[in-house]
Amino acid sequence: MEGKGLVRCAVLILALVISGCRGTLENNGYAQVSINFSNSGFLTKALNPDEESVRNISILVYDSNGFLEESLWLEGNEIYNGIKLNLLSGKEYRFLACANYGYRVSEPSMEDVLNHRFHLAYPDEYTEGIPMTADSGPVSIEDDAHICLKLVRLMSKISLRVDRSDLDKDVELIVRSVEIGNCPKSAVSFGRSKTERQDECFAVGFLRDAEECSPLNEIAQTGISKEISVYMLENMQGRFSETDIKDDSEKIIDEYDPRTQVCSYIEVCMDYLSKDWKSSGRGLIYRFYLGEDRNSLDVERNCHYRITIRPENDGLGEDSWRVDKSNIEPAGPVSFSYWPDGYIRGNIGDTVHLGCSFTPSYAPFDVGLEYMMDDKEAGIYDYVIDEDGHGATLTFTGPGRGLIYMEAGEPVNEAALWIIEVNQPNP
């Protein structure tokens, strides 16, 4: 599976601009500051939250000492009617905004507001729109001053598609759900945010069900599906590795590493069918950690990550946390038999043929070559492996006791054991 196109894009960067125009000086030494709002008019897909809408906003103005000077709360049309503030001319202020929080933010000091966190009640809570913030930094209020606040979303957007072009022709993959694992419940409003403990993540993260995943099952002639998107609050977990990893399959965190409880990942559940295998229950599961690149675990606010999932061959090649095959079973019947009985006695010069028969025929098989080599070296018998590799013909060459162990692997998971005695006294 290749996480093709793990790209950070600037699609979400500029959502809303708050522009301020300073008015004329008053005789009392105050300047009138006008604050207006404009919307980019970006259109969104029906299944996605409105990425541009601003339903409510808190505007906070702090003086140079970090104390709250003005606190405004606007809803609906009030946002676009224009705002006028009287602030001391020649003084320095810092303007902050919190949009789509659904409640008024009014912290008494800069220290308090910089520690403020936004909390989601559940992963896809967008009744108020996507939460956004803006920070002007220090601004001196003078004649012809221009204040511009850029609202930045606290959330990241992850867009997924599936490239089936490298799959075997008999393989059918139908995506049934996409979920964000270790999906944060909250984020720092201003600054970088990361989850520190497992209980700071939702038990079930942002989820797309079968109907919402249907675009991933609409396949173009190129083998690449349409796209869906999922959303999450920022989670900046730093670098995955101190050295560059060259392959996506290496981006696996040890199960005992505490980062497994806080680093965000994507989990894709699919119905699977091929001539040899079929899925049951939750089906075949693909998982992969998010990040800026293979060496990163950062999911940054206001960024758009585009990912292509590209399974190869039978889609089952990896055997790790990334490819969960626990719900994969044989498409046909399973059987195992062996011959002759497990206890073989003979004399020097005798020959005997032993082997196994099993279905499905593609199951891995160990004919027990190491056992036979040891017994040959001990002078007990010589051997010729069957052409199909599922048995052997033994020719007894000397007295002694040996054993042979043959095993069929997944999905058969059966074995046969023979005890060989040559020119040994009767028991």
pLDDT digits (tens, 9 = 90+) for 284-296: 999 999 998 889 9
For residue 247, what pLDDT is reported? 86
CATH number of the structural domain 2-6+155-330: 2.60.40
Taking domain 335-422, whether its CATH number is 2.60.40.1080 is answered by yes
Which residue from 293, 294, 289, 292 is spatially nearest to 259, judged by alpha carbons? 289
User: What are the pLDDT digits (tens) for 201-216?
Assistant: 999 999 999 999 999 9
Q: Looking at residues 363-378, what average pLDDT do you find?
A: 96
pLDDT in tens, 325-352: 999 988 888 899 999 998 999 999 999 9
Write down the pTM of the prediction: 0.75
Fold of 14-153: Immunoglobulin-like (2.60.40)
pLDDT for 363 beyond 60: yes
CA 352 and chain centroid, separation: 55
Query: Mean pLDDT over residues 390-416, rounded?
Result: 95
Residue 144 pLDDT: 62
CA–CA gap between residue 54 and residue 76 (Å, rounded)? 8
14 is written with which tokens?
A: 């500029």
Helices then strands, counting H and E runs in the chain, come out as 2, 32
| pLDDT bucket at 24, cuts 50 / 70 / 90 | very low
Among residues 31, 151, 20, the alpha carbon closest in space to that of 82 is found at: 20
Q: Do domains 2-6+155-330 and 335-422 have the same CATH topology?
A: yes
Domain spans, the chain: 2-6+155-330, 14-153, 335-422
Q: What is the mean pLDDT of residues 363-381?
A: 96
Average pLDDT value for the chain: 86
